[in-house]
A and B are shown apart, each in its own frame.
Chain A
């Protein structure tokens, strides 16, 4: 069965600094897709970034980038120039092309200190 692990329940970063959130996953599928979602206090789930497993190039989206290490099954999220609005719960997600299942890790609560 596929699993997603986020080993950091909480993280803290100073405003304007850089922080990296960790995510590892386990799968036997070859066709899969990885996501980072953000959940602010409003509860709304917002897509931050997406990575196709068949692409070697790491995805980037403005201040957000990933470090995708396929062999190690690692998918970390780097947030540069952190802003107060980045404070939220971050979920790492996995979607398997064969299982059609979108699952998430346990989440990392990110605090941004002014």
Chain B
């Protein structure tokens, strides 16, 4: 069973379109994250949710809107896509990272290409 799954794995779309990436975790974790990995492989945190509440929002354009319908899901909706949005987007989840031998688990990433 996949612990953190993202769909789709690849997404090619035109500038100006609106698209969503879905993420689901079956680990029972309280916290979920979205990261953006650009062409230089920099892995930058975008958002973090804890029990469906937004706790981190890192200077991300408001075209990006995360939505957490329940604590097992964190979706990312992007409006008016721009060329610079092309990247690999990773979803991750964790239990409290301060407790015990815990780690963040990552999805396989979604490669978004805006043309």
Contact = CB atoms under 8 A, between A and B. Distances in A.
A35 to B, nearest CB: 7
Interface string A47-85: 100100000000000000000000000000000000000
* Main secondary structure on A side of the interface with B: strand
Nearest to B58: A101
A9 B55 CA distance: 31
A95 B48 CA distance: 13
Given A43-B108, A100-B48, A100-B55, A35 B103 contact: yes
Contacts of A33: 97-98
Interface residues of A, number: 24
Q: Quick one: which of B45, B98, B101 has the most chain A CB within 10 A?
A: B98
Q: Chain B contact residues (Cβ within 8 angstroms of A): what range? A: 20 to 34
Nearest to A46: B106
A45 B103 CA distance: 11
B12 interface: no
Interface string A75-114: 0000000000000010101010101111110110100000
Contact of B45 (A42, A43, A103): A103
A44 interface: yes
Interface string B42-76: 11010010100001100000000000000000000
21 contacts: A35-B104, A42-B108, A43-B88, A44-B106, A45-B106, A47-B103, A47-B104, A91-B43, A95-B98, A99-B56, A100-B31, A101-B45, A101-B56, A102-B33, A102-B92, A102-B94, A102-B97, A102-B104, A104-B43, A106-B41, A107-B42
Interface of A: 31, 33, 35, 39, 42-45, 47, 50, 89, 91, 93, 95, 97, 99-104, 106-107, 109
